[in-house]
Amino acid sequence: MKNWEKNLREITPYVPGEQPDFPDMIKLNTNENPYPPAPGVARMLKEMQAPKLALYPNPGAKLLVEELSAQYHIAPERIFVGVGSDDVLAMIFMTCFCSEKPILFPDITYSFYDVWAELFRVPYRTVPLDEEFRIRKEDYYKENGGVIIANPNAPTSIGEAPDFIEDIVKHNPDSVVVVDEAYIDFGGESAFSLLEKYDNLLVVQTFSKSRSMAGMRIGFAFGSERLISAIYAVRNSYNSYTMNYPSIVCGAEALKDRAYFEECTKKIIRTRERTKEELRRLGFSFPDSRTNFLFVTHERVPAAELFAMLREKHIFVRYFKAPRIDNYLRITIGTDEQMERLIEVLKEYLRTA
Ligand code: PMP
């Protein structure tokens, strides 16, 4: 090893789902939305003036924050925006988890949490989910340096009610509690209403799933003014212009179209419920999903085998080779046609497997 190599920061990064590019593929591996963003977004992109890009964007992403404020009825000072919720969460880890005590999160959850903890040198402890992949709230009633819970959780798809989250917040008056609600719009119940009562709570959401804008990279957090201003201070000590001009204007435009948002999320929920019945008939079981994906296991055929078989047919789903979940597949809900094709391929394979 050369001397300078000793000074390199070595870290095992988070590995996102693959982004294959086949014309005939069915992509159900990264929980994207199969529908395009609200029509106003396409209009905005067309009308956008290229010379505008010569200027720096508004550092506070004013237009976007004001629209979030109007739609969610919360003061702009209580909103933080970032480059996807990954950026928002990373900033939260940096700002809010500076205790010497370990932060807590489930053993099976979004696999970026332990990566950020390692990156920012935040001590952490993972808390096992129960046998049914449910969070045991009592496990979070002990001393800690912070708590982060994905609700609904990923990849399990299970959502808990706001009372459940409130019990965790109530028992942690000395920590910041973060609820990662990336999938909340597909039938989950947000902890948003708790924000009035608890100034140590952060609720994080994204445009990547329910608003069909994963490619734009927009995420946001709601919290007390004290917390939000602390996160901005850290963000502004690192990069003042995380939000680019196109995402500010397109994000604001997407928010205005509530009808489209509701229609899309409802459509995905309907497809999900239909897919559940078909999968059950084929011998799959799964937790009751409150998300745009299903976390499924088959009574007979190993998940790894099904994953490889589907991949060969250019149907991409997600498989995690990790303890407790290595016999499960995470399948994103696509369009009705995509799900019908998936079911057809599975049916065909399971007939002889
Ligand atoms: N939280 C959870 C639970 C997720 O599954 C994801 C998507 N990978 C994210 C946050 C981050 O999504 P984004 O950065 O696209 O907002």
Predicted model pTM: 0.97
Average pLDDT of the segment spanning 321-332: 96
In tens, the pLDDT along 14-28 reads 998 889 999 999 999
Nearest CA to ligand 1 atom 6: 182
Residue 353 is which amino acid?
A
Percent of the chain residues topping a pLDDT of 90? 99
Say whether pLDDT at 45 is over 90.
yes
Calculate mean pLDDT across residues 27-36.
98
Give the residue-averaged pLDDT of 232-261: 97
- Evaluate: CB of 110 within 6 angstroms of ligand 1: yes
Query: Looking at the predicted structure, is the pLDDT value of residue 136 above 90?
Result: yes
Structure tokens at 98: 């500076």
State the pLDDT at residue 17: 87
Report how far residue 72's alpha carbon sits from residue 222's, in angstroms, rounded to the nearest whole number.
Answer: 10
Nearest to 265 by CA among 225, 307, 317, 210: 210
The verdict on the CB of residue 64 being under 6 Å from ligand 1 is: no
Whether the predicted pLDDT of 2 surpasses 90: yes
Q: Which helix (H) or strand (E) holds 257?
A: none
Tell me how far apart the alpha carbons of residues 75 and 222 are, in angstroms, rounded to a whole number.
Answer: 9
- Asked whether 230 lines ligand 1 (CB < 6 A), one says no
Q: Please state, in angstroms and rounded to a whole number, the distance separating the CA atoms of residues 271 and 293.
A: 10
Find the mean pLDDT for residues 35-44.
98
Residue 265 DSSP SS3: helix
Ligand 1 center from residue 182 Cα (angstroms): 6
pLDDT at 104: 98
343 lines ligand 1 (CB under 6 A): no
Mean pLDDT of the chain: 97
**What mean pLDDT is predicted for residues 118-141?**
98
Ligand 1 atom closest to Cα of 86? Answer: 14
The CA distance from 105 to 108, in Å, is 8
Please state the atom number of ligand 1 nearest to the C-alpha of residue 217. Answer: 15
For residue 70, give every residue at least 6 positions away whose Cβ sits within 8 Å of its Cβ, in sequence order, or none: none
From the CA of 42, how far away is ligand 1's center (Å)?
Answer: 23
Q: How far is it, in rounded angstroms, from Cα 249 to Cα 1?
A: 48
CB 126 within 8 A of CB 114: yes
Does the beta carbon of 181 sit less than 6 angstroms from any atom of ligand 1?
Answer: no
Task: Quote the pLDDT of residue 250.
Answer: 98
Cβ contact 185:210 at 8 Å: yes
* Residue to substitute in 110, 242, 293 for testing ligand 1 pocket (most ligand atoms within 8 angstroms of CB): 110
If you measure from the C-alpha of residue 235 to the centroid of ligand 1, how many angstroms do you get, rounded to a whole number?
Answer: 19
Mean pLDDT of 266-291: 98
**Predicted confidence (pLDDT) at residue 42 exceeds the cutoff of 90:** yes
CA–CA distance, 147 with 317 (Å, rounded to integer): 30
- The 8-class DSSP code of residue 16 comes to P
Write a three-state SS string for 29-63: CCCCCCCCCCHHHHHHHHHCCHHHHHCCCCCCCHH
- The confidence score (pLDDT) of residue 353 equals 85
